[in-house]
Amino acid sequence: MKVSVDQDLCCASGLCVMKADQVFDQREEDGVVIVLDEAPPLDQHEAVRAAAAACPTLAIQLSE
């Protein structure tokens, strides 16, 4: 699985961090998403899919 985000779309909701904090974090200065692990291990995939589905701005792209 490859994870990428569009920071221009991100509204800093933090919902992805709530779902998968091993993979997503927020920038200190404006809360915009950062990806901690672009190729997360298998045990994270479900959480990452939930994060992508929950994202209110559809800013998270996954390729599997």
Partner 1 sequence: MTAEAIPDFPFDRATALEPPTELAELREQCPVAHVRLPSGDTAALVTRYDDARAVMADPRFSRNLARDGAARLSTTKDGGLFSRRKMGSEDISEGQGHLRWRRLLSRSFTVRRMEVWRPRIQAMTDELLDSLVAKGSPGNLSAGLGLPLPVRVICALVGAPSEDQDKFAHWSRTMLTLTRNTQEEVDEAYQGFNTYVSDLVDRNRANPGDDLLSELTQISDSEDGRLSQAELIATVRGLLLAGHETTSNMIAIMVAMLLSERERFEAVIDDPELIPGTVEEVLRLDSTLSAIGGVPRFITEDVNLSGVEVPAGSTLIPNTPAANRDPRKFPEPERFDPRRENNQHLTFGAGPHFCLGQPLARMELQVVLGTLARRLPSLQLRDAPGDLQLRTGGISGGLQDVWVTW
- E-assigned strands of 6-59? 24-26, 33-35
Tokens of 13: 């909701």
Residue of 13, 22, 44, 45 interacting with ligand SF4 (CB under 6 A): 13
Using CB under 8 A, count the residues that bind partner 1: 20
Quick check: 62 and 1 in contact, CB under 8 A? yes
% helix, strand, coil for the chain, step of 5: 30, 20, 50
Residue from 3, 20, 23, 33 that binds ligand SF4 (CB under 6 A)? 33
Among 3, 5, 35, 47, binds ligand SF4 (CB under 6 A): 5
Residues that bind ligand SF4 (CB under 6 A): 5, 10-16, 24, 33, 55-57, 59-60
